[in-house]
Structure formats: structure tokens, C-alpha cells
Amino acid sequence: MTFDESSSDAAWMERLREAVRPATAGRIGPYELVAEANRGGQGVVFRARQPGTNRHVALKRILGGRLATREARARFEREVEALCGLDHPNIVTVYGVESIDGQPVLAMEWIDGQPVDAWARGDARAGRPLRERLAVFLQVCDAVQHAHQRGVIHRDLKPSNILVSATGVSRVVDFGLARAVDSDSSDAARLTGTAELLGTPAYASPEQVSLDRAGLDTRTDVYSLGAVLYQLLCGVPPHDASRGLPALLEAIRKDDPPAPSSVAPGVDRDLSAITLKALARDPALRYQSVDALAADLRRYLAGEPVTAQPPSLAYQLRKLIGRHRTSFALVLVVLAALLAFAITTASLALRLDQQRNAAVAAQTREADARAAAEEVVDFLRRMLAAADPRKRQGEALTVSQVVDEALQRSEGMFEQRPAVDALVRLTLGETLNALGRHAEAQVQLDRSLSILRELYGGSRKETGQALRSLGHVQLAQGHAAEAAALYSEAAEVYRRLPSEQLALAATLHSLAVAHLEQRDLALAESLLVEAQQLRGAKPGPEAAESINGKQLLASLKFHQGQFDEAERLALAALSEARAALGDRHELTIAVLGNVAVVMKRGGRPAEARPYSEECLATARLVFGDDHPHTLQSTANHASLLQALGEDARAEALYTQLLSHYEQRDQLELPTALAAANNLGSLLLSQHRYHEAETLLRETLDRTRKVMGPRHPDCAVAMAQLATAVYELRPDDGRAEARQLVADALAIMEGALPPDHPFVLKARSHLARLDGE
């Protein structure tokens, strides 16, 4: 959009828009168009039905179709790149991007919602309560901060780009003008032109309307959020647009907006001050991060002093009295004597001074956190830029290679900036764990946690994140007890942070998994219930939460021996995952594998086969052959083939898996131990007792070392080893075999229900040994 709306370029674009406007909904490739949902300067969005799933999606393509300019295509590609790097419950979800008839098409989550300003107006009788409006605005702040932490500036935040569902969950949409933090301003200029205004004028920052490309940073989004907040409080934008575009742009550059408290009677001075600080014309006078804006709003909602106000004694006294009205009323009645009043005043002064110092310290911490986050983003951006094919001269880089380079460059780089060092190590540790490089991940996360504890103790969410990530590493290596201890500590951190209830719910979910791995089924179930209650009280990404909950509950029922109920829950989770997340989502792949395992255990391996084959094929396609998810899917499929009597194919897969783990010195990982146990079972069924005994003794030793001597997986290995010992040495080996089975039965009876198939099988085995 240019300043001169009557220019020939603008008129030509309008004619082009009309030329490409479809007369009917029609189709785009395999997608059936329901209706046109939105049309802007860059693209058109349709509501469409996705083939196969029949779910509704938002389908976006470039305005102008094949006639779109190179700059328009570049903007579209930038939006795709920005959205694909974001994963947040309050940011629209991307399902995929594909080329249809030579044109890029972006498929996204369809959101049944209203623009946030329309939602805030409520019905004809009354607008939404103030706290409800602020709660939704805080969701938006969290989403934008998430984008900033991943190096993305939105640059077009406005009410129509914030959609709110009927349940009060917001989604930030339309990243068509998004830009990477610290991206080359010359690139931006080539994409936008030298006389083009980025963003919607009524919500654009002074630096945007001044066409100051170099001055655009995350504080630009802070200003736009301030403008959205002004609209939610007052019902109008901060500057009057009725006088025309030139006057509006001049007002944004030179004038401060009227205080919200003077426009809307229900807005008090604190909330007005917060809004005006976000709208400061000088970026240096604004909140220096979206997190700082959100933190001040949360202090306001808690009745605490806000940093937007000068911390004067009178102001602090007003806040203290506002929080303790009844107490002060009694004090005013009782304290009539001048001496008593003086003593009380001195006491209050001390308390107020402490509060003022706390507010200033909070502001300092927020500034430090912003600086650290920006330095982390800059470091990671430079690392990812190393993979640019133009710089590598055609040499392709894997994710592991990029991480290796980042590890090498980061060593010692941030010694003088420990907060940055901790966050860089946290990010690298999480990435290494996702790649299956658990030992390296633990080194980075241990150091990150040590730094965070030294800096903040247990008062920051980053400490909880490091603890939880370390728990993931321990669990991936089969150390369920150690993982449970870390998850418990992380949960305690999050319990002290009221704004982190979703993180607490996710941590309790992980803790339930750790206890499930230890077969502490009752405790796992109680933690799952608590996590679901927390998520129900605080809106979030409903589909993923529901699927995860069903999946964990199915696993719980499976370990309780309730296979029919486990299968029902797993199939329900699969149906929900396919519809909401698509066939290639990580969670859909995991649920597919669980359905196959449950069906196999229920005695129907032939019905399980198509689920297992789809799971393995999709995992290989999405993750590659060596990813932990693919290796787990391979182990599960080998077990299924064994149940179907296809021993040769099953043995080949088991051998391939164990060779992979042995080469990497990872034979103690849970998937490797399970594969070895299953291969031992296959060898027993083929009467290859010598091979089985050797393998099962090694596996039992490793399982005891990793999971502890009382873990049910030890019992499985013990029972199988007993069979090999007895078959090889019926006389000399009987006593050892009987002791192995008796010990296995004791472990199983302590961990599993009395009618569990494993318990019944062990009892039968022991009875046979005693009877012969």
C-alpha cells in the first residue's frame, strides 16, 4: 500500500484483484473451496475442505496468481518461513505448504473466531469484562513474545489479525509482513520498496510510518500491541483516522494519544500508564520487550505496583491501600494518636521502599531477559544462516551438522554473559535430545541448569524449563526414577509462578509418564487427572492436549491389562489426531504406533499390521531412518512381525536395530533393551537356547543397571532367561531357573494388577517348574 491511493500502480492492483476474484468458490488443486474468507493487499484466504480428512482449513495464496510479482512471491515465502518456525497455542497452526498449478498455497488451521475488537465489544447489552479482555490480550503478548524469541517480528499487529474463539482463546494470524530479527535492511527494502508503508496505519509505529527500515525491531510490535490494547480499553484506535491518511500519519509521528483514562471511564491511571508507555513515540521509552509489557499488566491484575508509574511514595501508598482497604479502614479508626500515626507511617515507608525496589528490580530483570533473549536469537540466526546454500556453494548441511557447528562456536563465547550462555545451552541441549544425542544433551542442560540456579534460584520459568528438559533426557535413556525427580522439581518451580499453569500441566503429564514407566500406575493416574484439570482451567491448544491425554490414558489402561479400553482410547486419539493435526504430525505417528501395539497385545496382530506399517513408513518419511521415533517404530513393527510368525523379517529388523545402537554405544537405551528382550523371545521360540541365554543375560544386566533391579522389564528378561537355562540344563539349571521365575513373579505382583497376563503367565511357569 502506498501513500497515494490514487496512483496508477494502486489502480492497476485494484483492477488485478477484481480480475482474479473467483465467481464461484470452486477448487484449488485437491481442496474444495467453501468461501472466500479474507482479501488483503498481499493475498487471499479461502475457507476450504481438506481432502481425505474433510476438515476445514484456511487456504492462502498470493493475490494475482500467476501474475504475482517476484516481490509478492518473496513476501509469501517469508510468511511461510516465519509461520513454520513457530509453535504456540496462540499462533495459527500451519498444516503445510505446496505448489498447486505453479503457485504456492499455504494450508493453515481454520479459526472460527472474531477479530479481537469485535469480540471485546460483546453483545448488544454490554462489552466483555475488563479482566477478560486483559486475559486475552496477555495470550496475544505471550504469542508475540514466542515469535520474537524465535527471531520473527510480526510488523502488522492489529485487531483483524488477532482472532478470538467463542471459548476465549486467541490466535495471531497473517505473518505476511513478518521479518527476521536483525535481518538485512537492504533485503527488506528490496521487498517493500522505498515508499511503501508496512503495516496498517492506525496500528503502525512512528518508525514504520516514517519508513525507518533500520529502526524496526521488536519494539515496533510493542507499539502495535499498545495500539490494540488502547482499542480494547477505549473502543477506538489511539489516533483519529477520520481526518485522512496524511493527518493520521502526522499524528502518529508527532502526537501522543489521549490518555485512555480520559476516554474510557472504567480505565484507571495505572492501566492508562501501561498503555501509554507501550505507545511511546520514542522506542527507547517504550517497554523494551513484549514480556515486559505483559509482566506489568500481570502486576496490575495482581494489584501490585507497575513499572509504568513513577515509584513515588504517594503512588506506592495508594497501591498498598488498594490491596488492603479493610485493614487501613480499621487503622484509620484506631490510630488517632499522633505518635501511633508516626510509627505506622515509618513502618509503611519501609514496606513501600521494599515494594519500590522490587518493582525496579523486576524492570531490570525484564531488560536483562530481553537483552539475553535477543543475543540468543542473534546467535541462533547466525548458526542457521550457515546452512544457506548460497554460502555453502551447494553443499547440503544436516541439522546435526548445524548443531555441531553451533556447539563449537558457542564454547566460551558467552562466559562473560551467563544468562545468554544458559539459554544457548538450553536450546542446544533440547535440540540434541530431539536428535537422539542424549549424552551430549545432558552435558549442555546440566550446565544450563547450574547457571540458571546460580542466577535465579527457582524463581524463573527458565529454571523449570531446564529441569523438565533434563527429565526428558533421563527418560529417553530409561532412567525413569531420575526423570521423575527432575519433573517433580520443575513442577515446584512452576507452582510458584501463577502465569505458568500450562507449563505446570505439561510437566505433570511428563511426571505421569515417568511413574508409568516405573509401573506406579496409581500415582501416574492421579497426576494425569491433575494435569487435565489444570488444562481445563486455562485454555490452550485443545486438540493436542486432548490427544495427549487420551494417549497417556490408553497407555495407563494398557499397563493395567485393560486392553479393550486401551484400544478404544487409542483409536479415539488417532481419529482426533488425523482430523486436527494431519497424518504426518509427530503426535499422529506416535498414536498410530500405540494403536498397533494395543491391537497386537489384544491378540489381533493381523488387524494391527496396517497401522504399524503406516506408522513406520510415515516416521521414515518425516524423521529419517536414524531418528529415535523411527527406531521405536521399527522395534514395534519387528515385534508385530514376530507375533504374525514372520520370524526371519522380525529377526532382521531386531539385528539391524541392535547393530545401530551398538555402533553408537547406546545398547542401554530403552528401545534397544526392548528389542534385545524380544529377539531373545524369538530365539527361544526357535529353540536357539545358547544364543538366547547369552543375549538375555547381557540384556538383564543392562536392564538392572538402567532401570533398577525391581523394574517389570527386568522381570520379563528374568522369566525368558529362566526358560533358556532350564531347556539347556534341565537338571543342573532347574534351581537357577526356578529362582529367576520366582523373583520375576515377585516383581510383577508388586507392580501389576493380580489378573495381569504377565502375572498369570509367571505363576503358570513357576507351577510347571515345581511340578516337573
Coil, helix or strand at residue 573: helix
Q: Is 156 a catalytic residue?
A: yes
Q: What is the DSSP string of 28-60?
A: ETTEEEEEEEEE-SSEEEEEEEPTTT--EEEEE
Report the SS3 class of residue 2: strand
d(CA 537, CA 268): 28
HSE of 16, CA atoms in CB hemisphere, 13 A: 19
Q: Concatenate the DSSP letters of all residues of 717-762 into one string.
A: HHHHHHHHHHHH-TTTTHHHHHHHHHHHHHHHHHHS-TT-HHHHHH
- The three state secondary structure string of 434-496 is HCCCHHHHHHHHHHHHHHHHHHHCCCCHHHHHHHHHHHHHHHHCCCHHHHHHHHHHHHHHHHC
* Dist CA 316 CA 304 (whole Å): 9
By the 10 Å C-beta count (0-12 exposed, 13-18 middle, 19+ buried), 114 is classed as: middle
Q: Computed from CA positions of residues 721, 727, 730, 732, in that sequence, does the dihedral angle turn out positive or negative?
A: negative
SS3 assignment for 341-360:
HHHHHHHHHHHHHHHHHHHH
Q: Could you give the residue ranges of the DSSP H alpha helices within 169-257? A: 185-192, 206-209, 218-234, 245-254
Among residues 9, 112, 142, 156, which one is catalytic? Answer: 156
Task: Label residue 693 exposed, middle or buried (CB < 10 Å: 0-12, 13-18, 19+).
Answer: buried
Q: Contact, 90 vs 170, CB < 8 A?
A: yes
- Percentages helix, strand, coil for the chain (3-state, rounded to 5) are 65, 5, 25
DSSP string covering 99-160, please? EETTEEEEEEE---EEEHHHHHH-SSS----HHHHHHHHHHHHHHHHHHHHTTEE-----GG
Which residues are known catalytic residues?
156
